[in-house]
Amino acid sequence: MAENIYEKYGNKIIDGKRIAAEYRAEIATEVAAMERKPSLAVIIVGEDPASQVYVRNKERGCAEVGMTSLLYRLPTETTEEELLRLIEHLNADSDVDGILVQLPLPSVRDGGSGIDEGAVIAAVSPEKDVDAFRAENVGHIMLGDAQLLPCTPAGVMVLLERSGVEIEGKRCLVIGRSNIVGKPMAMLLLHKSGTITVAHSRSRDLPALCREADIVVAAVGRAKLITGDMIKPGAVVIDVGMNRDENGKLCGDVDFDSVAPVASKITPVPGGVGPMTISMLLRNTLTAARLRGKK
Ligand code: NAD
């Protein structure tokens, strides 16, 4: 991606960094007015470098909006029983509002003890599940009455809303069907009355599906998969992907240089969806604190 994209593409760019900062400032104002501050517990198992960065950013985000964060660093070889015991303890701690276990957990190959992620997700009490990963919370996303929102898809919705993108009646293509991004993304767009297609690794003719879409949300994990010739002129393109290109540089699923001239709006990577995800985690922690009676 060129260095001067903000100069070159001006108001086409959905500036996630700026919108996320505004959003966090609004949360900070709400938190400042509370007598008891929301509190987020973050558990990290092992030494995965990307996870270390994410956890540090979550701690920073909490500090920025005036929330308390509690960080639990556990060694790589931590057993499922030990992790579940800590989660139980945090479930019972009345001051803790949100519990987040940083995924992925270390694999056996990396020296981990083979902890079952499903068991860990299910152990967090539903009202403290600030990632909205538990089946109950996923059900609420489906029903459209979720209090705790899926962070990345909800962040995309804020970006669309604050950029004045209309969803009602639009053809929306979500590329990717994961439980944390693709599926809940499709649901949130559906609740706003978009006409939704979900593409995935077995879909046929992805370029044709793309060319029909007014809004494309790419959440695949393949560097520069979506190119300008696949995009309908004037479409809005949201890039959730976080990949490394051939030079080891961070890039999305969208080939920015060829798509930006065709799209009407586009999120860059970095500086697009990523910054919103943490902001939505903070929003969920504030919501959880309020639902648990903190004022
Ligand atoms: P995942 O691996 O769980 O899912 C990828 C999906 O892409 C699958 O459903 C698969 O069917 C689909 N897919 C694979 N190849 C495809 C192809 N050729 N055509 C169409 N679909 C294809 O990944 P995920 O957890 O959903 O994450 C997706 C990307 O988003 C990754 O790059 C990840 O790093 C990034 N991500 C970013 C944020 C953020 O905050 N910015 C948050 C979560 C994930």
Taking only the tens place, the pLDDT of each residue in 208-232 is: 999 999 999 999 999 999 999 999 9
pLDDT for the residue 106? 97
The closest of 252, 236, 245, 129 to 180, measured between CA atoms, is 129
Output helix, strand, coil percentages for the chain, rounded to the nearest 5: 45, 15, 40
Strand, helix or coil at 119?
helix
Convert the pLDDT of each residue in 70-105 to its tens digit.
999 999 999 999 999 999 999 999 999 999 999 999
pLDDT for the residue 3? 60
Q: Is ligand 1 within 6 A of the CB of residue 240?
A: yes
- Name every residue whose Cβ is closer than 8 Å to that of residue 179 and which is 6 or more positions away in sequence: 133, 138
Cα 243 to ligand 1 centre (Å): 10
What is the pLDDT confidence band of residue 10, given thresholds at 50, 70 and 90? Answer: confident
What is the pLDDT confidence band of residue 4, given thresholds at 50, 70 and 90? Answer: confident
Cα 179 to ligand 1 centre (Å): 10
pLDDT at residue 1 greater than cutoff 80: no
